[in-house]
Chain A
Amino acid sequence: DAGVTQSPTHLIKTRGQQVTLRCSPISGHKSVSWYQQVLGQGPQFIFQYYEKEERGRGNFPDRFSARQFPNYSSELNVNALLLGDSALYLCASSLAGGSSYNEQFFGPGTRLTVL
Chain B
Amino acid sequence: KNQVEQSPQSLIILEGKNCTLQCNYTVSPFSNLRWYKQDTGRGPVSLTIMTFSENTKSNGRYTATLDADTKQSSLHITASQLSDSASYICVVSELTGGGNKLTFGTGTQLKVEL
Contacts and interface: CB of A to CB of B under 8 A. Distances in A.
A103 B100 CA distance: 9
Nearest to B44: A106
Given A55-B98, A108-B42, A109-B42, A100 B106 contact: no
B101 A50 contact: no
A100 B107 CA distance: 21
Interface string A51-62: 000011000000
A35 B51 CA distance: 23
Contacts of A94: 100
Interface residues of B, number: 29
B43 A107 contact: yes
Interface residues of A, number: 32
Nearest to B34: A103
A33 B99 CA distance: 10
Contact of B43 (A42, A97, A98, A106): A106
B13 interface: no
A78 interface: no
Contacts of A104: 46, 100, 102
Interface string A72-94: 00000000000000001010101
Interface in B76-114: 89, 91, 93-96, 98-107
B19 interface: no
B41 interface: yes
Nearest to A48: B99
B102 A45 contact: yes
B105 A45 contact: no
A97 B104 contact: no
Contacts of B68: none
Given A90-B43, A109-B41, 16 more contacts: A4-B43, A42-B4, A43-B104, A44-B104, A45-B102, A97-B99, A100-B93, A100-B94, A101-B32, A101-B93, A102-B100, A103-B49, A106-B43, A106-B44, A108-B43, A111-B41
